[in-house]
Structure 1
Amino acid sequence: MKLQCEVEVISRMLPTFGMRNRGKGARAVLSVGRQEDKRSGQAGAVYLMICTLKDKAGSRYKLQENIDQLFTRFVQEGKATVRLKEPAVDICLSKADVCSLKNFISTVGLANKGKDPGSISLSRLTPVKTSEIEKPRAKMFITCKKDYPITKSFPYSLEHLQVSYCKLARVDMRMLCLKKLQKLDLSNNHIKKLPQTIGDLMCLQELTLHNNFLESFEVAFCNSTLRNTLKSLDLSQNKLKALPVQFGQLKELINLKLDDNELVQLPFTIGLLSKLRFLSATKNKIQCLPSSFRSLVLEKVDLFGNPFVKATPMVPDIQLKIPLPLLECASRATIHYRIPYGPHLIPATVCQDLSVAKTCDCGRPCLSSFIQTVVLMNLHQVSQTVVLVDTMGGTEAPVICYFCSLTCYSEFLDKHLQSARI
């Protein structure tokens, strides 16, 4: 049984001599095992051995009937203390894995009572290697193909991993086993597709895929646990032509970069990204912005280099059916009154239509029966800082507007004509 953590051995006799402990723990490996009797060659009593960088051979402490008390009040924080009778020391443990610490304390308790720990295997009390004691690695940067680990695994403790300029054609599945990973930078590689299981990175907050060959963005990415953790996403300089409707589920996003792709439009659910503050989508093929774009509250937006079309508020695309079909009426009512629905209640195709419903200028939903037009919006309405849209110094961009009825469209025209006169 072994445990890696920080250890501080405090002598309870020091205050007697008017001395203080240094009060600082050291990285160590603790082993619980039987000390072999050199004469008989048989296993003897169970000992606790503590190995540090300064003492790799280790210090040994007998456990059987030698523990005065076990302090486990803060075990959920990775802390515990073993108080020995002889010598009179307190072995203070901290920064330990909670599950491993619980098993370790259980084994120590059984050893104190002279009982067999059972299914938990005892370790050999031998000196440890330097690599076993060293502090877990939190960051790793690989910027050359020759440095890429082929036979070795990535350290399980990594929180920040950068692998750039390594000509990776796919995401290494070993990376998806790094459960503590918070930042992953795979920029400047040859990645064409993201794995379906990328959501296994449950703690991931920043993902950089700058300058790769991505042609599509997986729906599984948006449906994974990343929708609750991901705060920064860099997809710039790829070959993306579209983003899925489910992209709006990444509601924790704060920073989004989509520069230098082949996007024809932004996902119309982008307005659901309520925490988004920085958006950059320069040098794409975007002709107009989705209606929900007006719901964003940004600090900076950059849409330079897109072939925006001219606004045509007086030339609508009328797809309104009068009277409204029954399905349209029922669908609008379902969304407006927030009636629960699902494939167990209504056809899956109808569920899909409801999930991509449009929003009228009046705030009410519409699905397949609507009036559509393109209007100009000053980007300062949604962002504090606006990078010029074109070389002419403009800060306005075309936005698609939907109207659920002739009444709503007429009211919009009246407002538009009045503002034009002014």
Structure 2
Amino acid sequence: MPSHLTPQEPVLLTVIGRDHPGIASRLTGLLADAGAALLDIEQVVVQDRLTLCFLVRLPEKGDVLKELLFAAHELGVSLEFQSVPVPGGKPLPPPNRHVVTVVGRLLGARELHAVSECLAQHDANIERIQRLTEAELGSVEFHISLPLGREPEELKRALLELSMASNTFDVALQRESLYRRSKRLVVMDMDSTLIRIEVIDELARVHGVGEQVSRITERAMQGEMDYDESLRQRVALLKGLDARVLRDLASTLPLTEGAETLIPVLKRLGYRTAIISGGFSVAAEALKNRLGIDYAHSNMLEEAEGKLTGRTLGPIVNAKRKAELLESIAETEGILLDQVIAVGDGANDLLMLERAGLGIAFRAKRKLRQAADTSISSGGLDTILYLLGLTGRELQEVRMHLPGAREIQRSRG
């Protein structure tokens, strides 16, 4: 053992070079034969370049470092070593760990500098950076630790302001916990979330009352009008509309970008899915059947003699009702609220988002974005998959097992 190293102090061994099979096997074999104690290990490969670290406590006798250096030379890699002082005093409390997920069309040095600078300004220490996407650099995870006792709210607001200012990427901050990668239920609003339109606005346009309904819709989404009253006023304006218009529209609803990826992948992974919407049941049920969604709850329009009467049937699905339905579905499925994701875009989604373990404001107004756990504005609904911690490689594997995937692959081959 070199004279500047002591048996009491752990030694950090860092191996760098071109990755190939057998490196870890050869080096760990030498450590085992020498009786060294392995305390920690970490490896990362970036573009075929390996960085492998061992934290070890070396035996007093023998010259295992010399053997390791010789083996590294034969393997075509470099090996550096340095002692790591053992911290004294009482054991440190567990770190205040969080995960920051950055998702954009294409992330570059400018975007990642902006995020890392924001983290530094809030004393967040970056412990690990992981690329999630495969082909292009579209999603990156920062695993960070905040100072003990520091609440994440201030950092969350700063990251939100950063993403809103850039308009080219989304940033999500989540506490690192058992439930981050073990969500089991995803609940979504329908209008302007799962689909690109507001159904009631389209019906109103056909019926010639588009401008009146749009004004009421906007006030309701901004939280400036009681939702129940706004719905009654808007539905009343639809009185006399042929019900076939509603059914024709429901059969051709335009899905939001990413929905056709998100739902099948969630189903393949065993998630339960639900629509909880202040929209209309004919549209929600059509989407439920089309996408294979497990639950659909929304408002039912009354019909008489093939025409809309301008009234709804049953309780109105407002903000309070949405939150209650979310809880009811979770209870039915035996799923903890911490394992629920809720996605919405309007003020009437706020309670639902607050009740879920992860509330996501999707292309939402500023007020909801500030209140939600995180927001998505530049990406599609499939961005949610990266917030679950899934990597591009994992997503590709799941897609290969979706219905019809093999037929598509064969046709391309």
TM-score for both structures, normalised by structure 1? 0.28
Higher Cα radius of gyration: 1
Structure with bigger helix share is: 2
TM-score for both structures, normalised by structure 2? 0.29
Greater RCO between the two (CA within 8 Å, min separation 6)? 2
